[in-house]
Copies of this chain bind each other. A is one copy, B any other.
Amino acid sequence: MIKAGIIGATGYAGQELVRLITQHPNAEIVTLTSHSYAGKDYDEVYSNYSHKNYICEEEDIEKMADICDVIFLALPHGVASKKINNNILNKTKVIDLGADFRLQDIDVYEKWYTTHYSKDILSEAVYGLCEINRDKIKGRRIVGNPGCYTTCSILSLYPLVKEKMIDLSSIIIDAKSGATGAGRGLSLSNHYCELNESVKAYKIANHRHTPEIEEQLSYAAGDQVVLSFTPHLIPMDRGILATCYAKLNGKYTYSDIRKAYEKYYKDEYFIRLTKEGTFPETKWVKGSNFVDIGFTVDERTGRVIVIGAIDNLFKGAAGQAVQNMNILFGLDEKTGLDYIPVFPA
């Protein structure tokens, strides 16, 4: 059994991780921590665990490193980079669900986020987008688990970028997320009556997942990608839908594009290409690690429109973190993750 520790276990992503690891056949939680709820029973924070005996502990990452095979961090950005050091990585694997180890370009990180406190370690971190970076993840000591919007956006566009089928300057990603994406913290914008029965865009042209998408797509393209990314808040709990637009570099047909997607994804269990003429909906991936992708060619405008859907807490956070753990420890990637989406839910 892999001994896992979870830091930040009382946020929504942390809780989803607690659920997935608890149900994982080859892993167990040896300690879970929460700054806000230290000392409390976990089921006082999440009553769905009233049949379990988890307790929220105060975090001591050094001690955790002694007893854990892997530590997951689900913390606000800027915190993980202060906690992780070489000593810890010598003792345990680290999978960070925050933003601190996702961007390799430190200037970009510090421009969009804050000061980075472990630049030395950053270079050995791998971007944990499993379907793309699987081989690089094996053997690493630290994984930067991708963001929710970014997972959905990059996987939706990757084959087109890789195959140079689209104009890199023309990419627009219009994304829609359920409310869990904003976390459990209280704010007026999360108040039921303010969020319910309404839709809005937010952080227009300045959301922090933008540089993360751009960096990864630039690697794939071998060229600089600058794009528009607009997130929207939808009155639902879970799910991200990314509607992606790009100019085609030629007169590609649906079949041409399908071939590109199949080239990269045909053996990927967690990526499901929808049939021609059908498109992803978030309900069909909810409660699962699947990424559904569909696309169409708009001949009138010369654009391809690609639609991707994930469960933001699962494949967009905790599920992918477990998938990374499975890779790091040599398990089948599906282990503990092979859930059929729950519907209706």
Closest chain B residue, CB of each to CB of A305: B204
- Take A174-B243, A192-B179 as given contacts and tell me if A283 and B340 are in contact as well, using a CB distance cutoff of 8 Å: no
Question: Nearest Cβ distance between residue A128 and chain B, in whole angstroms?
Answer: 22
| B48 and A343 contact, CB distance less than 8 A | yes
| Complex alpha-carbon distance, A266 and B235, angstroms | 32
| A245 and B232 contact, CB distance less than 8 A | no
| B194 and A191 contact, CB distance less than 8 A | no
User: How many identical subunits does the complex contain?
Assistant: 4
Which one of A186, A284, A345 has the greatest number of beta carbons of chain B within 10 Å?
A345
- Take A23-B339, A236-B199, A300-B205 as given contacts and tell me if A194 and B283 are in contact as well, using a CB distance cutoff of 8 Å: yes
Closest chain B residue, CB of each to CB of A170: B170
Closest chain B residue, CB of each to CB of A343: B48
| A239 and B198 contact, CB distance less than 8 A | yes
| Residue of B51, B200, B241 touching A232 (CB-CB under 8 A) | B241
| Residue of B47, B174, B191, B288 touching A184 (CB-CB under 8 A) | B191
| Complex alpha-carbon distance, A301 and B213, angstroms | 14
Segment with Cβ contacts to B, from A76-84, A139-147, A223-231: A223-231
| B205 and A193 contact, CB distance less than 8 A | no
| A237 and B279 contact, CB distance less than 8 A | no
| A279 and B228 contact, CB distance less than 8 A | no
| Residue of B186, B281, B290 touching A186 (CB-CB under 8 A) | B186
CB under 8 Å from chain B, chain A span 167-218: 172, 174, 176, 178-180, 184, 186-188, 190-202, 204-205
Does A292 have its Cβ within 8 Å of any Cβ on chain B? yes
- Take A204-B305, A235-B235 as given contacts and tell me if A195 and B194 are in contact as well, using a CB distance cutoff of 8 Å: no
Does A331 have its Cβ within 8 Å of any Cβ on chain B? no
